[in-house]
Structure 1
Amino acid sequence: MVNPHVSLILCFEKCSLSSIKVEITKTGRVVKGQPEYEVAFSVNDDCPCVEVQVVVGCNGFNSVEPIDPFIIKKDDSVGGCLLKNGGSLFQEEPLKFKFAGQLPTDNFKPISSTIACS
């Protein structure tokens, strides 16, 4: 049986803000004159934990397509956009959404998160 303290140490050693991957891809569609993008957030394979309360930069971000605020929501109190209402971001299950409009100037770069180990 693995010592839970060792698992916790591994979690904090292998996971950090840089463990959050952001992939932005142009879909090729144009919506109301704006290019459409698909954005995927996930956790690197070497991080055995989940990240919660993930905030990404979203300066200048706008979309002519509606976006589910549960997925990504601008929140000035946290200085960016909150993902999944603060819920868990997993490596096995990327969080994806599409939007048409301007990319944020900071390209959704992770600003802060909390590492959650079990």
Structure 2
Amino acid sequence: MVKATALVFFLGALLLSHAQTGESQPNCTFSDVRFAVERTGKAVGGQPEDRVTFSTACPCKLTGVRVWCDGVQDGPEQLDESKVEFDDGMCVLRQPIAAGSPLSFTYTSRTPVNFRLYSATADC
């Protein structure tokens, strides 16, 4: 019984030490991904241009970010394919986003775009 108690105490101390050194994995959630849409003041093909910026508060970079963005393909402006790919109603970000390193792209649309996060993976 004493050996079992000592083992539990040792494992508990080891876990506490690991957490205090900052080596534990951060818990990133969907709420850590933010986006903001703003007008650029430009027009393309007679339509106002908007810029959407994706950012995160997660300390890990986020990869595989997929966002519902139906409508961004309806305007006369081509999406910057180095940053985003449109795939069946979704914008697939081609670059990771990280705290302090947001990703943005411009677009035009005939209707308002309702951006909603579909998926993302924290790469810690």
TM range (shorter): 0.7 to 0.9
1:66 corresponds to 2:75: no
Q: Which moved more, 1:61-70 or 1:26-35?
A: 61-70
CA distance in 2, matches of 1:104, 1:94: 22
Cα separation, partners in 2 of 1:20 and 1:103, compared to 1, 3 Å: farther
Gaps of at least 5 residues in structure 2 are 1-19
Q: Contact 1:59 / 1:104 at 8 angstroms: preserved in 2?
A: no
State the percentage of identical aligned residues.
33
Query: What TM-score does the superposition give when structure 1 sets the normalisation length?
Result: 0.76
Instruction: Give, in angstroms, the shift of residue 60 of structure 1.
Output: 2.4
Query: What TM-score does the superposition give when structure 2 sets the normalisation length?
Result: 0.73
Cα separation, partners in 2 of 1:29 and 1:105, compared to 1, 3 Å: closer
1:2 is aligned with what amino acid?
T
Tell me the matched-pair count.
104
CA distance in 1, matches of 2:110, 2:21: 47
1:114 corresponds to 2:121: yes
1:39 corresponds to 2:52: yes
Structure index of larger Rg: 2
Tell which has more relative contact order, 1 or 2 (C-alpha 8 A, sep 6+): 1
2:101 is aligned with what amino acid?
E
